[in-house]
Amino acid sequence: MVVGPVGFVWKQISLPVRKGDRCKLEPALLSHPALFVTEIFNERGEIVQGDDFRKRVITGVLIVLVIIGCAYLIEKGFLAIGLKSAKVIRVLDENKPIAYLDSRVLEQIGDQDPKGPPLIAVLNAAGAEEYDEIVIRGLGDGSVYFLHREQLNNKLICSLNGNGTADLIDQRTSQVLVKLIKEIEVK
């Protein structure tokens, strides 16, 4: 017997169990609040609970680690594919990524305009706050567009394409400034 907290007496019992057997305890023993089984024996009289428990815990931990590792690799893989195809726009602040935006996010930002969100709304949603200069880089032709904060207005639109990409257009002239935006950097 082991004396527990606040004077409770815990009863320790050992039950011989063979593979395939089921343990049956008397209802009176099961109703005791501090009853716990500490050892389970195999047919040779060896304690097996400790080894099996350790193996199960180690196996469970390894399975969780494998799942986490696979999820990490899948996320990194899809992000890399999205960046290469301009379906994901990376927003940088002083060369540090602050956001990754895809077409669904851009649709939510620009829900009032069917063509797409204004560039200023995209920068605000990405968390870019203090900047003087904006550099927008394209994928296809490698175009780069430089812009100062004073030049920002609601007429510069991230126009959504049907294939999940976006172009930077000036709505006043309908001119495409950057084809297939892959990166927006604020400095």
3-state SS, one letter per residue, for the chain: CEECHHHCEECEEEEECCCCCCCCCCHHHHCCCCCEEEEEECCCCCECHHHHHHHHHHHHHHHHHHHHHHHHHHHHHHHHHHHHCCCEEEEEECCEEEEEEEHHHHHHHCCCCCCCCEHHHHHHHHCCCCCCEEEEEECCCCCEEEEEHHHCCCCEEEEECCCCCEEEEECCCCEEEECCEEEEEEC
181: exposed, middle or buried (Cβ count in 10 Å: 0-12, 13-18, 19+): buried
Scan for tokens 């097996």, then name that residue: 48
Q: In residues, how long is the chain?
A: 187
CA angle 30–32–34, rounded 5-degree value: 110
Last residue of a domain, one of 80, 111, 132: 80
CA angle 181–182–186, rounded 5-degree value: 90
Beta-bridge mates of residue 1:
none
**Same structural domain, 127 and 181:** yes
Q: How many domains does the chain fold into?
A: 2
What's the confidence (pLDDT) of residue 46?
A: 60
pLDDT in tens, the chain (187 residues): 444 444 444 444 555 545 555 555 454 544 444 444 445 555 565 655 556 677 888 899 999 999 999 999 988 888 777 767 667 888 998 888 898 888 888 888 877 677 788 888 888 888 888 888 999 988 867 788 899 888 888 889 988 888 888 888 988 888 888 888 889 999 8
pTM of the model: 0.59
CA distance 106 to 32: 61
**Same structural domain, 145 and 93:** yes
Question: What are the structure tokens assigned to 171, written together?
Answer: 């709505």
Beta-bridge mates of residue 181:
138
**Same structural domain, 103 and 149:** yes
**Same structural domain, 41 and 127:** no
Last residue of a domain, one of 42, 62, 80: 80
**Same structural domain, 107 and 176:** yes
**Same structural domain, 76 and 100:** no
Residue 121 · residue 99 · CB < 8 Å: no
**Same structural domain, 24 and 106:** no
What's the confidence (pLDDT) of residue 180?
A: 87
**Same structural domain, 94 and 169:** yes
Residue 75 lies in domain: 2-80
**Same structural domain, 27 and 90:** no
Last residue of a domain, one of 26, 53, 80: 80
**Same structural domain, 59 and 90:** no
- Residue 108 has, within 13 A of its CA and on its CB side, a CA count of 6
